[in-house]
Amino acid sequence: MQATLHDKPVNATHWSTCTLPEHLGVDAITIRGVRQGNGPKPDLSRTFKLSREPRFEHKLLDVVGL
């Protein structure tokens, strides 16, 4: 799990179900089971959405200005 979330394979953006077992020296079925059970998605990033409230900018400047 640690390698899936924090390490990056050489010449790739994220671990695949084929490359991670080779790297860790375990069976591919084991990796599939762990991934399905925990649901990590390291290739997806979380986004931040700004509020649509009319006074949001004013409130943001008050907080950031502290």
- Per-residue model confidence (pLDDT) at position 9: 82
- Per-residue model confidence (pLDDT) at position 32: 75
Q: Which residue has the higher pLDDT, 66 or 53?
A: 53
Q: How are the residues of the chain apportioned to helix, strand and coil, as percentages rounded to the nearest 5?
A: 45, 0, 55
- Per-residue model confidence (pLDDT) at position 18: 81
- Per-residue model confidence (pLDDT) at position 43: 62
Backbone angles phi, psi at 58, to 5 degrees: -60, -45
Is the pLDDT assigned to residue 65 strictly greater than 60?
yes
pLDDT in tens, 12-52: 887 787 888 888 888 888 777 776 666 666 566 667 777 88
